[in-house]
Amino acid sequence: MEEVEVSPPQPMEIRIKVVSTSLCRSDLSAWESHAIFPRIFGHEASGIVESVGQGVTEFKEGDHVLTVFIGECMSCRQCTSGKSNTCQILGLERRGLMHSDQKTRFSLKGKPVYHYCAVSSFSEYTVVHSGCAVKVSPLAPLEKICLLSCGVAAGLGAAWNVADVSKGSTVVIFGLGTVGLSVAQASKLRGASRIIGVDNNPQKCENAKAFGVTEVVDPNSYKEPIAQVIKRITDGGADFSFECVGDTDMITTALQSCCDGWGLTVTLGVPKVKPEMSAHYGLLLMGRTLKGSLFGGWKPKSDLPSLVEKYLNKEIQIDDYITHNLSFDDINKAFNLMKEGECLRCVIHMPR
């Protein structure tokens, strides 16, 4: 590993000593794309504030925090609308730079090293905008709640905030990774009567019922299109369908799998290829709805502390999503496990 220099925080920024960070599928996809290089990946993380920049009043040294890949400035049109979590000032950062000055805080031998999603948590220290961190209870175990800074929160919110899953409803989930199984947990807590998981990984199907999935469907076991299978076993289609794979063709399949009249499809996955999707207009004409979900609709600063409290009160589960705990030196093993589909979340622990 290279010794990368991490600059002090600039105005309205904080420098964080990363404690735990977990590997998300989007880290792997971005790494494989080689779009920006050199770059420090990682965005699902927890840590302790090491220092604060000028103008920062919300944080102090020693605060426990979660990093977030979309911030909340609390003053732009989107933040004040009460309708959205897509901050206009601190939204999804795609160029590998800081929001504030379009520069980097990492360097190697005097040359810039780029950020990822304004977080870059695969580093012992990182610098983020103060709007891209959330102060949390010091009672919460940082090595567990790091999952709430992306995957688990995204799935819970997609079911609760975006879809508003109702009691007695039928839910179908495409993709039984951490996000899909978090949708399952949230749907179970809402009282869904059937939660159907769709995945072609036998290992994931085997573990799914522990998170609330009532039945699993392996597309490889059927000759007919999977949307037809779902419609047949649900008497016309599910009330809610969730695409958690990151495949635009699967979005179409999910839309086809929900029922006429009120069927709602939510897409959460980030496509690795082919970002454009297509669907017959008749699917929408017959009353189906397609919605996108970014971070489950949660406003990070406003909402994440309450999710942490739910975890501390044992109202939601996080621990069972962690299948591997690895040291920072073994980070490549985490990437290999994700590529082979042999993990849910690998939590990477930084040197103390």
Residues 107 and 181 in one domain: no
What integer pLDDT is reported at residue 204 of this predicted model? Answer: 85
What integer pLDDT is reported at residue 349 of this predicted model? Answer: 98
User: From CA 346, how far away is CA 28, in angstroms rounded?
Assistant: 12
User: Going by C-beta distance under 8 Å and a sequence separation of 6 or more, which residues neighbour residue 94?
Assistant: none
Q: Classify the C-alpha dihedral 87-155-26-41 as positive or negative.
A: positive
Q: Examine residue 127 and state whether it is found in any structural domain, yes or no.
A: yes
Residues 113 and 53 in one domain: yes
Residues 25 and 135 in one domain: yes
Residue 257 belongs to domain with CATH number: 3.40.50.720
Q: Examine residue 209 and state whether it is found in any structural domain, yes or no.
A: yes
Whole-angstrom CA distances from 32 to 27, 272, 275, 331, 339 are 9, 9, 16, 15, 10
Residues 210 and 265 in one domain: yes
Mean pLDDT is lowest, of 6-10, 125-129, 267-271, for 267-271
Residues 159 and 190 in one domain: yes
Contact 272, 248 (CB under 8 A): no
Residues 181 and 276 in one domain: yes
* Total number of domains constituting the chain: 2
Residues 11 and 116 in one domain: yes
User: From CA 248, how far away is CA 237, in angstroms rounded?
Assistant: 20
- The share of the chain scoring above pLDDT 90, in percent, equals 91
Q: Examine residue 203 and state whether it is found in any structural domain, yes or no.
A: yes
Q: Examine residue 302 and state whether it is found in any structural domain, yes or no.
A: no
1 pLDDT band (50/70/90 cuts)?
low
What integer pLDDT is reported at residue 34 of this predicted model? Answer: 73
Residue 133 belongs to domain with CATH number: 3.90.180.10
What integer pLDDT is reported at residue 309 of this predicted model? Answer: 98
Residues 139 and 168 in one domain: no
Angular region, 209: left φ>0, alpha ψ -120 to 50, beta rest: alpha
236 lies in which domain range? 154-295
User: From CA 115, how far away is CA 103, in angstroms rounded?
Assistant: 9
What integer pLDDT is reported at residue 270 of this predicted model? Answer: 83
Residues 160 and 120 in one domain: no
Confidence check: pLDDT of 5 > 70:
yes
Confidence check: pLDDT of 2 > 80:
no
Q: Examine residue 311 and state whether it is found in any structural domain, yes or no.
A: no
User: From CA 122, how far away is CA 126, in angstroms rounded?
Assistant: 9
Residues 17 and 35 in one domain: yes
**Average pLDDT of the residues of the chain:** 95
First-to-final CA distance of the chain: 17
Confidence check: pLDDT of 48 > 90:
yes
| pLDDT tens string 91-141 | 999 999 999 999 999 999 999 999 999 999 999 999 999 999 999 999 999
User: From CA 126, how far away is CA 14, in angstroms rounded?
Assistant: 8
Q: Examine residue 227 and state whether it is found in any structural domain, yes or no.
A: yes
The model's pTM: 0.96
| pLDDT tens string 174-219 | 999 999 999 999 999 999 999 999 999 988 888 899 999 999 999 9
Q: Classify the C-alpha dihedral 84-198-276-40 as positive or negative.
A: positive
Q: Examine residue 108 and state whether it is found in any structural domain, yes or no.
A: yes
Stretch 25-32: mean pLDDT: 88
What integer pLDDT is reported at residue 29 of this predicted model? Answer: 87
Residues 165 and 289 in one domain: yes
Q: Examine residue 307 and state whether it is found in any structural domain, yes or no.
A: no
